[in-house]
Amino acid sequence: MNTYLRMYEREARVYKGVWRGSVFSSFVNPFLYLIAMGMFLGRLVDEQTGGVAGVTYLEFLAPGLLAATAMQAGAGDSAWPVLAGIKWQKTYVAALASPLRSRDIVIGHLAWVATRVALVSVIYVLVAALLGATGLASGLLAVIPAVLTGLAFAGLVSWFSATLEDGIGLTNLFRFGIMPLFLFSGTFFEISRLPDWMEPIAYITPLWHGVELTRAVALGTEPPLGRLGHAAVLVGVIVVGTALAARQFEKRLVV
Amino acid sequence: MSDALVIAHDLTKRFGDFTAVDSIDFEVQPGEAFGFLGPNGAGKSSTMRMIGAVSPITSGSLSVLGLDPVTQGPELRSRIGVVPQEDSLDVELTVAENLMIYGRYFGLTRSVIRPRIEELLDFVQLNGKRDEKVDKLSGGMKRRLTIARSLINQPELLILDEPTTGLDPQARHVLWDRLYRLKQDGVTLIVTTHYMDEAEQLCDRLVVMDQARIVAEGAPADLIVQHSTREVLEMRFPPGTQEENIAQLGGLAERMEILPDRVLLYTPDADSTSSEAHARGIRPVAQVSRRSSLEDVFLKLTGRSLVE
Ligand SMILES: Nc1ncnc2c1ncn2[C@@H]1O[C@H](COP(=O)(O)OP(=O)(O)OP(=O)(O)O)[C@@H](O)[C@H]1O
Ligand SMILES: [Mg+2]
């Protein structure tokens, strides 16, 4: 058995105990956005402009929200739970007394996050398809870029969490990092609407690449950097984030 | 070549500029119960963590089960059990789930782990709590679960860092009995503790650590002979009069320890020392004569009392 799968199993089992609340919260929010913004605000947008980027606002929003939801799930699972494993409950410390190594913990954790993001994404797509916000097949295909988006954040946030001593940094990360990204990375409107000075900022955030790729897959369009281009950026961020996290776990826990 | 299970030579651990363990030497023989005694901050846990291959050594050499903890960590850890000083259980999971997960860390199959869970819960008397969330357990029950967890891989060597801290007296005695049984089964034990009675009961041999160094080593009984007198006379004086009384105690005993609340007189024969003191007109409000214990050795070597 690959050693990281042992940590995967632990994460899955912990999740089993809380999955109801967790699925509910990671999914209710985007659902509410989809209805309020996609359907009601969307009607207004469509009446005024005849749609966005050639599709209805609801169809435009649905894949963007999918990527943003994946980001939030990936970041959330790698924030407080990671700090708890390292510091509050020390369950990761306990795991290091077994044959597991810190990289097994990081990889097992991230592998689990990928699974969970996929789960949340699939449920989201099913509901979005019911609402007519996306095609079922193209929506399900878009789960793949959504998982890449979730993982990109999971790696970076795991690394960040492993540098912290308390939860304040995480609260700030979500308040000043994740939330603004959610609003300004092309989820709700194309970033060409942003003031010129803000646009480049959006380009360097992983979420923008995730949103563009997810939307392109769902709508069958070609994104600015090409599908491969955006995918390469996301994979690059995943690799860097995972490596940083593994290094930080080792530095923090093996002392 | 020595056939010791653990061989430490010049073993040193530094955290930045701070030296937590300062070139200590010791050997643990197969099948023995080996203790580390020492005041807070002496370096006991740092030493345990190096032996457990979770903390790299700074310098010196360390071999555990013939393996190098730094380069063969995973293999070494698969053969030992560890009870860390701080519980680190999965509080959202149940008692049985904690054991299952931990067994899985060792690559054991579920069908191997399942019967072990029942045995171990029996062993630490937590059968009734099998499906209880760890959150809901008392501190002592968590401690017992941590001990059960450390045994899931049937270790050859068990490292216990203050295993009974937080346990009630009855649970402590039960644990001593369990550890004794493990020892009978051939498991080698390394224990740190602040309880002298625990050390005397459990340990075949022990070292006393103080300020990162080993200050004494031996069997409990030998240490007492080496570092203390046969008997001790403890005297307690009315509040505020301890100092004037001490002035009159000169020459009565081989050695005297002055604690905030009482005076300890080290002597071969406590009763005759007591009579002499009486003859000098010394009238303590309470006095006890007793055999020397490890506590006294500890007090002498580290200048600190464990019973605060
Ligand atoms: N990770 C660390 N970083 C810096 N200093 C540390 C670290 N771990 C331990 N120390 C320091 O090393 C010294 C020895 O600590 P250690 O935990 O080994 O003591 P101990 O003998 O187990 O004490 P106690 O009886 O309180 O458990 C202490 O001064 C402690 O502050
Ligand atoms: Mg300690």
B53 to chain A, minimum CA–CA distance in Å?
7
CA A57–ligand 2 middle distance (angstroms): 61
pLDDT at B304 over 80: no
Nearest CA residue ID for atom 30, ligand 1: B41
Q: Distance, CA B84 to ligand 2 centroid (Å)?
A: 9
In B, which residues are within 8 Å of A251 by CB distance? none
The verdict on a CB contact (< 8 Å) between A98 and B86 is no
Task: Check B52 against A10: CB less than 8 A apart.
Answer: no
Q: How far is B193 from chain A (nearest CA, A)?
A: 20
- The token pair at B173 is 């005695």
Query: Which chain A residue has the Cα nearest residue B56?
Result: A255
Which ligand number lies closest to the CA of residue B43? 1
What's the pLDDT tens digit per position in B40-81? Answer: 999 999 999 999 999 999 999 999 999 999 999 999 999 999
Report the gap between the CA of A38 and the closest CA in chain B (Å): 37
Give the pLDDT confidence score for residue B19 in this predicted structure.
98
Q: Mean pLDDT across chain A, nearest whole number?
A: 93
Tokens of B21: 């363990």
The full DSSP string for B178-242 is: HHHHHHHTT-EEEEEES-HHHHHHH-SEEEEEETTEEEEEE-HHHHHHHHS-SEEEEEE--TT-H
Q: Is B52 an interface residue toward A (CB < 8 Å)?
A: yes
Q: What is the ipTM of this complex?
A: 0.91
- Closest chain B residue to A105 measured between Cα atoms? B105
Would you call A17 and B106 a contact, using CB atoms and an 8 Å cutoff? no
Q: Which ligand is nearest to the CA of B49?
A: 1
Tell me what the mean pLDDT of segment A103-107 comes to: 97
pLDDT in tens, B16-31: 999 999 999 999 999 9
pLDDT digits (tens, 9 = 90+) for B65-123: 999 999 999 999 999 999 999 999 999 999 999 999 999 999 999 999 999 999 999 99
Ligand 1 mean position, distance from CA B14 (Å): 10
Question: What's the pLDDT tens digit per position in A191-230?
Answer: 888 888 888 888 889 999 999 999 999 999 999 999 999 9
Q: β-strands B231-236, B263-267: how paired?
A: antiparallel
Q: Measured between CB atoms, which of A17, A90, A254 is closest to B86?
A: A90
Residue spans in chain B of domains classed CATH 3.40.50.300: 6-224
Provide the 10 A C-beta neighbour count for residue A144: 15
Query: Residue B168 gets which letter from DSSP?
Result: -
3-state secondary structure of A52: strand
The set of long-range contacts for B208-211, using a CB threshold of 8 Å and a minimum separation of 24, is B208/B37, B208/B38, B208/B297, B208/B298, B208/B301, B208/B302, B209/B24, B209/B36, B209/B37, B209/B38, B209/B42, B209/B43, B209/B44, B209/B47, B210/B38, B210/B39, B210/B42, B210/B301, B210/B302, B211/B22, B211/B41, B211/B42, B211/B43
B104 chain-A contacts, CB cut-off 8 A:
6, 9-10
Query: A108 near A12, Cβ under 8 Å?
Result: no
**Nearest of B75, B90, B137 to residue A95 by alpha carbon:** B90
Dump pLDDT digits (tens) for B183-233.
Answer: 999 999 999 998 888 898 899 999 999 999 999 999 999 999 999 999 999
Q: Determine whether the interchain pair B92/A14 forms a contact, defined as Cβ–Cβ distance below 8 Å.
A: yes
Query: pLDDT of B7-16, one tens digit each?
Result: 999 999 999 9
Domain with CATH 3.30.70 in chain B: 229-291
* Option in B15, B97, B107 nearest A99 (CB): B107
CATH number for domain B6-224, candidates 3.30.1490.20, 3.40.50.300, 3.90.1210.10, 2.40.160.10: 3.40.50.300
- In angstroms, what is the span from residue B210 Cα to ligand 1's centroid? 12
Q: How far is the CA of B54 from the centre of ligand 2 (A)?
A: 14
pLDDT at B243: 86
The binding-site residues of ligand 1, defined as CB within 6 angstroms of any ligand atom, are A 255; B 15, 18, 20, 38, 40-46, 85
Confidence band, pLDDT 50/70/90 cuts, at residue B308: very low
For residues A51-66, average pLDDT: 94
Task: Write down the pLDDT at residue B196.
Answer: 86
User: Which CATH number applies to B229-291?
Assistant: 3.30.70
Segment B115-172, tens digit of pLDDT: 999 999 999 999 999 999 999 999 999 999 999 999 999 999 999 999 998 888 988 9
Q: Take atom 31 of ligand 1 and give the residue whose Cα is closest.
A: B41
Given ligand 1 and candidates A93, A96, A253, A255, which is best to mutate, with the most ligand atoms within 8 Å of its CB? A255
Strands B157-161 vs B18-28: parallel, antiparallel or unpaired: unpaired
